[in-house]
C-alpha cells in the first residue's frame, strides 16, 4: 500500500506542477478513485498508466507545437536575410547614367 501512496504523491507532484496540468478537481477524482476500496491493484495500475500516457501525449504535442513555432521563426529569419542580401546587392550596384 505504501508503494501506491508513493506513486500517487509522485504522480501528483510531476503532472500537476506543469503548464499542462488539469484542474484540481480532476486530479482529486483520480486520486479518490485510486484510493477507493473498489479499485484493486490492477485497476490502480491501469488508471495510472492511462493518466501517465495521456500526460505524456499532451507533453509531446506541446513540444511539437513549440518546435513548429521555432522552425517558423528560423524560416522567417532566413527569408529576411535572403531578402536583405538581395536588396543590398541591388542597391550596391552602380547606377548607369546616360551622359549626353
Task: Please report the pLDDT score of residue 97 as a whole number.
Answer: 64
- pLDDT higher for 63 or 39? 63
Query: Domains of the chain: which residue ranges?
Result: 2-92
Q: Which grid coordinates belong to 86?
A: 538581395
* Confidence label for 13 from pLDDT (cuts 50, 70 and 90): low
SS3 state of residue 58:
helix
CA atoms of 59 and 14, how far apart (whole Å)? 12
The whole-model pTM stands at 0.51
From the number of C-beta atoms within 10 Å of its C-beta (0-12, 13-18, 19+), residue 69 rates as exposed
pLDDT tens figures, 41-100: 788 788 888 888 888 888 888 889 999 998 888 888 888 888 787 777 776 666 566 665
- pLDDT higher for 31 or 94? 31
Q: List the helix and strand counts (H, then E) for the chain.
A: 3, 0
- Look up cell 491501469; give the residue: 46
Amino acid at each position: 500500500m505504501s508503494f501506491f501512496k508513493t506513486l500517487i504523491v509522485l504522480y501528483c507532484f510531476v503532472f500537476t506542477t506543469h503548464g499542462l496540468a488539469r484542474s484540481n478537481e480532476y486530479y482529486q477524482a483520480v486520486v479518490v478513485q485510486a484510493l477507493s476500496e473498489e479499485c484493486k491493484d490492477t485497476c490502480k495500475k491501469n488508471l495510472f498508466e492511462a493518466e501517465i500516457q495521456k500526460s505524456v501525449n499532451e507533453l509531446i504535442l506541446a513540444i511539437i507545437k513549440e518546435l513548429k513555432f521555432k522552425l517558423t521563426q528560423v524560416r522567417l529569419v532566413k527569408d529576411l536575410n535572403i531578402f536583405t542580401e538581395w536588396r543590398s546587392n541591388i542597391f550596391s550596384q552602380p547606377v548607369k547614367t546616360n551622359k549626353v
